[in-house]
Structure 1
Amino acid sequence: MSGGDGEERRFPWGPAAASGVGSMPGTDVREAVKTVTGSLEGPPHLPYVPELPARGPGADMLGRTAGMLAEMYVHQEPSGWRISDRPGRDTRRARTWLGEDLDTVEELTQGYEGPLKVSAVGPWTLAAALERRNGEAMLGDPGAVRDLAGSLTEGLGAHLADVRRRVPGATLVLQLDEPSLTPVLQGSVRTASGYRTYDAVDRAVVEGTLRGLVEAHAGPVVVHSCAPGVPVALLRRAGVAGISLDAGLLTERDDEMIGEAVEGGVALFAGVVPGAGDDEGALSDPAGSVGGVRSLWRRLGLAAGLLTESVVVTPACGLAGASPAYARRALAHCAQAARSLADNPE
């Protein structure tokens, strides 16, 4: 697959691409997969394996990823997900949900050739959320975090191999969801008591752990966070292929980091469409939705051709809180907005 300049493309998706973040509304996985593949059908877009957290524990992003862990198990407590000694009902339920999802993806993507995005919670958000047996987050124990990262790396390898077997024509893009990454770096993740916080983790340790996961995956890795203050420079140094964020939270103070990342070959997954709502106006003007991205490009002085090459248009965050009708319109709107960038990149 080649870009307009005749060089090999940097990304498996095409120019002027659109995608989603991951979660979808409702409990019907067939409907969700049909929505994703229908709204993002054909090149240049990036369809994805949807998540349906409304089904309950184990289908949420934390439980789903915990079910992927290798030789590490979880169960649910009133306070959240906690590490277990052996696989129990909650681990089995998470794995069952995931298996049903992949069965449906396999059935509805027969003959598909192209990029396919697969999501999992990243190691630092997982460490901030999963509890040790004493009820404190794994984040408070560096050794536990290292074990967790190793388990996640091994588990993700097996999961991605399963997806490749089921959809052999797909080029897999791994998305790591890291909404807690900034709090981890800032030392603002609260302990179980709520009266204090865990120490900030050294940036070099955070970067090294993420780099280990990036290097273990034989394909592009995108990190997503819809929280403010995404550490763009750190993620670039960790070797990610793309950074997915809420573009509405960017300020001119972020310009330099964004510019360096894009010029360094990192894709910007720009969240420009609200993840939920009934405001028809938010979905009435595709070109207007990416006006802020165009303004960013002008401020950075980047080439117009790089805009369609480097930007993937997405909702600002997951669509789990939306209605199914809104989710369909939002993804179609992202595809139209991405096309508007290609038609009028200036």
Structure 2
Amino acid sequence: MTDQQWPWPAGAATGIGSLPGTDIAEAQRIVLGELPALPHLPELPARGPGADLVGRTAGLLVELPVELYAARWRIAPRPGRDLRRARDLMERDLDQLAEQAEEYAGPVKVQAAGPFTLAATLELPIGGRMLRDPGAVRDLAGSLGEGLRGHVAAVTRRLPRASVLLQLDEPSLPAVLAGRVPTESGFGTHRAVEPEVARALLRDVLDAAGVPTLVHCCAPDVPLELVRSAGAAGVALDLSLVTDLDPLGEAIDAGFGLLAGAAPTQPSASGRAPTSAEVADRVSRVWDRLGFPRRRLAEQVVVTPACGLAGATPAYARAVLAACRDAGRRLAEA
């Protein structure tokens, strides 16, 4: 285990994805400044439709155009204005990244919605979520895999010295596997997707992307074994939602990377951000309970906020990223 190569440097910290505000140049400056070991491409959902996680990812799909209908994304007969807007926003973000991080030579993380969260959110042209049609879900996974491969190539073209790390956001995955995704009427739920089917589709997407990929899920009951056996390099989760440590211990023991969500996304009652010592302590306490040697912690674990920071104030978001960065350094020096 000790000689395993991780796609990030020891003592790294990163963000989950979203940040507050609408100024992408400023957001990228903050990320590159506060998270120098593992910067991520920030998402700014406050910019409106197409800047949200689902719209942003839907813009990457190949031969599956989307549009907004009644404030929801659905598959469209042909490309239109909504899709153009989503693609323009992404293009602008990547151009801005190329400008600000031109000489950057380390790992950089990009995020996209995973196939099951997309299937549970995107609607079919005739209405109803894509999740209700297994054939549509297969097509969606194929389109997403191809789109992600193109997205990774677009990032690599702009940052030729960097290495790309992909994060698939799958907040809906536990609900999809448990048959808890509600139907449109709200009176029923969609049939559960079998674990073998989910694993195979997820593996197809990861293989197509062609770079080390993490799966992020800030819901309870993250299906760690499924994610790991599908070929992910690691998992990103909120430490406060982990109730059973055994599956996490088994995954880490098997060589799984952990993005440990250890800093709250909102300030405490006192209104202050956590200190780096508090964040480092939360990570090391869980690690010690798992029973692994401390020397592996800084290599196998990346410190992150508990989830996205779109709902935070700009000052709090920046303070949390700085606390995560310094916590990662503390853990590397311990």
The TM-score range, normalised by the shorter chain, is: over 0.9
1:40 paired to 2:35: yes
* Aligned counterparts of 2:101 and 2:76: Cα–Cα separation in 1: 35
Determine which of 14, 29, 53 is the counterpart of 2:9.
Answer: 14
For each residue in 1:163-198, what CA deviation from the matched residue of structure 2 results, as whole angstroms up to 9, or x when unmatched?
100110110001000000000001000111111000
Aligned to 2:251: 261
Aligned to 1:323: 313
Tell me how large the CA RMSD over aligned residues is: 1.5
What is the Cα deviation at residue 114 of structure 1?
0.5
What is the Cα deviation at residue 290 of structure 1?
3.1
1:237 paired to 2:229: yes
- Secondary structure in 2 aligned to 1:176? strand
What is the Cα deviation at residue 216 of structure 1?
2.0
Judge conservation of contact 2:148–2:208 (CA < 8 Å) in 1: no
- TM-score of the superposed pair, with normalisation by structure 1: 0.93
Judge conservation of contact 1:117–1:174 (CA < 8 Å) in 2: yes
Q: Which consecutive aligned stretches of 4+ in structure 1 deviate over 3 angstroms post-superposition?
A: 277-282
* Aligned counterparts of 1:94 and 1:213: Cα–Cα separation in 2: 21
Mean Cα deviation higher: 146-155 or 269-278? 269-278
Aligned residue identity for 1:263: D
For each residue in 1:23-48, what CA deviation from the matched residue of structure 2 results, as whole angstroms up to 9, or x when unmatched?
1110000000000000012xxx2101
* Aligned counterparts of 1:291 and 1:179: Cα–Cα separation in 2: 26
- Secondary structure in 2 aligned to 1:290? helix
1:115 paired to 2:107: yes
What is the Cα deviation at residue 279 of structure 1?
5.3
Aligned to 2:126: 134
Determine which of 25, 31, 44 is the counterpart of 1:52.
Answer: 44
Are residues 28 and 279 of structure 1, via their aligned partners in 2, closer, same or farther at CA, if it must alter by over 3 Å? farther
What is the Cα deviation at residue 235 of structure 1?
0.8
1:333 paired to 2:328: no
Q: Which runs of 5+ in 1 are unaligned?
A: none
* Aligned counterparts of 1:177 and 1:239: Cα–Cα separation in 2: 15
Aligned to 2:162: 170
What is the Cα deviation at residue 81 of structure 1?
0.6
Aligned to 2:278: 288
Aligned residue identity for 2:248: I
* Aligned counterparts of 1:282 and 1:232: Cα–Cα separation in 2: 33
* Aligned counterparts of 1:297 and 1:183: Cα–Cα separation in 2: 27
Determine which of 56, 63, 66 is the counterpart of 2:58.
Answer: 66
Judge conservation of contact 2:273–2:316 (CA < 8 Å) in 1: no
* Aligned counterparts of 1:248 and 1:39: Cα–Cα separation in 2: 24
What is the Cα deviation at residue 15 of structure 1?
1.0
* Aligned counterparts of 1:91 and 1:280: Cα–Cα separation in 2: 43
- TM-score of the superposed pair, with normalisation by structure 2: 0.96
Judge conservation of contact 2:14–2:38 (CA < 8 Å) in 1: yes
Aligned residue identity for 2:13: A
* Aligned counterparts of 2:39 and 2:224: Cα–Cα separation in 1: 24
For each residue in 1:57-99, what CA deviation from the matched residue of structure 2 results, as whole angstroms up to 9, or x when unmatched?
0110000000110011111112511110100110000001111
Judge conservation of contact 1:274–1:282 (CA < 8 Å) in 2: no
Are residues 279 and 103 of structure 1, via their aligned partners in 2, closer, same or farther at CA, if it must alter by over 3 Å? farther
* Aligned counterparts of 1:192 and 1:281: Cα–Cα separation in 2: 39
Aligned pairs (5 A) from 1:200-211 = 200-211=192-203
Judge conservation of contact 1:278–1:326 (CA < 8 Å) in 2: no
Mean Cα deviation higher: 290-299 or 81-90? 290-299
* Aligned counterparts of 2:329 and 2:240: Cα–Cα separation in 1: 20
Q: Which runs of 5+ in 2 are unaligned?
A: none
Mean Cα deviation higher: 268-277 or 21-30? 268-277
1:29 paired to 2:21: no
Aligned residue identity for 1:122: G
Judge conservation of contact 2:263–2:274 (CA < 8 Å) in 1: no
Judge conservation of contact 2:128–2:184 (CA < 8 Å) in 1: yes
Identity %: 52
Are residues 259 and 98 of structure 1, via their aligned partners in 2, closer, same or farther at CA, if it must alter by over 3 Å? same
Determine which of 291, 294, 303 is the counterpart of 1:313.
Answer: 303
Aligned to 1:188: 180
Judge conservation of contact 1:287–1:341 (CA < 8 Å) in 2: no
1:97 paired to 2:93: no
